[in-house]
Amino acid sequence: MRIVLVGPPGAGKGTQAAFLAKNLSIPHISTGDLFRANISQGTALGVEAKGYMDRGELVPDEVTIGMAKDRMEQSDAEGGFLLDGFPRNVSQAEALDVMLKAAGMKLDAVLDLEVEEDEVVKRIAGRRICRNDSSHVFHVSYAAPKTEGVCDKCGGELYQRGDDTEDTVRNRLDVYHTQTEPIIDYYKAQGLVVTISALGEVNEITQRAMDALQK
């Protein structure tokens, strides 16, 4: 299957993408991974992207599209892929359609993870991360540490990331509504959108997504 995963920040796209890709035996292609791989390998696109990032500028669509094209042409993606974070806007969605058509392929589905804005804010603004190990993540409401501000696993100090504050989260949601949400209408016009609730346990959401995709 060839799937695009969309949803607001805090919808759990990364977590669901990993589970779905494993269940469907297709590679999970995320924008973050594309950038990290190209920059660490020193590819021409990676060098170009790093130049923009170092200047604090947005990486142009054509650079992101080029990275995605290179990745989708790799042998492990011949039988399908799950795109997470790409396309990010309508122009990228149009470019993806052109790429797939040229390769004699098409998307099977666009999975839209739906979650209310207040829940997104609660999820992200409540996160607390250990200064000693960023993989030690807690949540003031859903997974509180035994002692406030102290990591259960190593005793390190827990802190709130600067981009996890309520104001920052609401700004990120505004960007999502302006730039990314329009691709849902773009794909609805092609009859590709499958919307599911992103509320509940991780495995419940994965099963919900699998059921919707199989239909």
Answer yes or no: is pLDDT of 58 > 90. no
Say yes or no to pLDDT of 185 above 90: yes
Domain hosting 31: range is 2-214
Please give the C-alpha separations between residue 211 and each of 11, 108, 196, 203, 206, in angstroms, as whole numbers.
18, 14, 10, 12, 9
pLDDT for the residue numbered 175:
92
Catalytic residues: 13, 88, 127, 161, 172
Q: Is the pLDDT confidence value at 48 over 90?
A: yes
Counting the structural domains of the chain, the total is 1
Question: What pLDDT score does 67 carry?
Answer: 96
Query: What does DSSP assign to residue 105?
Result: -
As a whole-number percent, the residues of the chain with pLDDT over 70 amount to 100
pLDDT band for position 170 (cuts 50, 70, 90): very high
Mean pLDDT for the stretch of residues 176-185: 95
d(CA 12, CA 14): 6
**Whole-angstrom distance, CA of residue 97 vs CA of residue 192:** 12
Find all residues with CB under 8 Å of 91, minimum gap 6, and list them: 61
Rounded CA-CA distance 19/111 in Å is: 14
Tell me: the pLDDT tens digits for 116-164? 999 999 999 999 999 999 889 999 999 999 999 999 999 999 999 988 9
Please tell me what DSSP assigns to residue 92: H
How far, in Å, CA of 126 to CA of 160, rounded? 8
CATH number of the domain bearing residue 14 = 3.40.50.300
| Assigned token pair, 64 | 């992101």
Q: Supply the mean pLDDT for the chain.
A: 94
Q: What is the mean pLDDT of residues 190-211?
A: 95
Q: Which of 52, 56, 74, 54 is nearest to 64 (CA)?
A: 52
